Every structure is written in structure tokens, then in C-alpha cells.
Amino acid sequence: MAHYAKILNGKVITVITAESDFFETFIDSTPGQWIQTSYNTHGGVHYDPLTGEPSADQSKALRKNFAGIGYDYDAVNDAFISPKPHDSWILDPESFLWNPPVPKPETGNWTWNEETVSWIVYG
């Protein structure tokens, strides 16, 4: 089984699981384009679903990230991009993941505070 995202005006409007031959007989009269997405791709890296480690075969990495409803599809870079989590966060042009303007501390429990544009400890 594979996953497919339907794109309309650069936005993902639905994601389905289907066999690849599904589209040979499927008739879709609604606007949009179907594009395959990989459930195991994150940040441009395909991960082995059994181990969680990067796969030996990176040709399985599709479109930088697994698509979700409401994601953008960048056709120029062939990448799915999640909604921006905070106004201050910056899109990484390699992974197409959003990064905070201040690195998250490596230890402890932290949450992002957009008002102060900083990490605050919680818990």
C-alpha cells in the first residue's frame, strides 16, 4: 500500500492509502492532482518503519515530508511543508521542516514561547 495526497491550489486537501493500480480505474471528477507521499519520510530522509533508523535505500524518500491535510505542496521543490507552527520559525530549505530561531536546549522539558521568542522550561 502507498499513500497519496490530493493537491488543490498548492494545498493538501486529503490523504488516502491505496494500491498503486487504484488510479488506473479510479475516476475523480473533482479538481486537484494526486501525488504520492511517503509515510516514512521526514526532513528528506526515509526511515525504516521497523527500526526507526534511516533506510539504506534513500530512493524511497518522497517529497521531503509525509503530507498532511492543510500542508502546502511546493511544486518547484517537490516538497510537502507542514503549517508554520509559529510566526518566528524559519523554513529549512533542505529538509523543508520549520526550525525555531533559537535552538532548543538539549536537556530538560521545554516549550516554545512566541511572545518572548524563546524556550521556557516546563514540568
Average pLDDT of the segment spanning 46-73: 97
Backbone angles phi, psi at 72, to 5 degrees: -90, 150
Residue, of 1 and 85, whose pLDDT is higher: 85
What Rg do the C-alpha atoms of the chain give, in angstroms? 17
Q: How far apart are CA 92 and CA 108, in angstroms?
A: 24
pLDDT value at residue 66: 98
pLDDT value at residue 123: 73
**Short-list 9, 12, 16, CA closest to 71:** 12
- For residue 113, list its beta bridge partners: 118
Please, which pLDDT band fits residue 64 given cuts at 50, 70 and 90?
very high
Cell of 25: 480505474
Please write the tens of the pLDDT for every residue from 12-28: 999 999 998 898 899 89
Q: In the chain, what percentage of residues exceed pLDDT 70?
A: 100
Cβ atoms within 10 Å, residue 111: 10
Q: In the chain, what percentage of residues exceed pLDDT 90?
A: 92
Q: How far apart are CA 59 and CA 87, in angstroms?
A: 33
pLDDT value at residue 78: 98
- For residue 111, list its beta bridge partners: 120
pLDDT value at residue 41: 98
pLDDT value at residue 111: 95
Cell 520549520 sits at which residue? 98
Please write the tens of the pLDDT for every residue from 84-103: 999 999 999 999 999 999 99
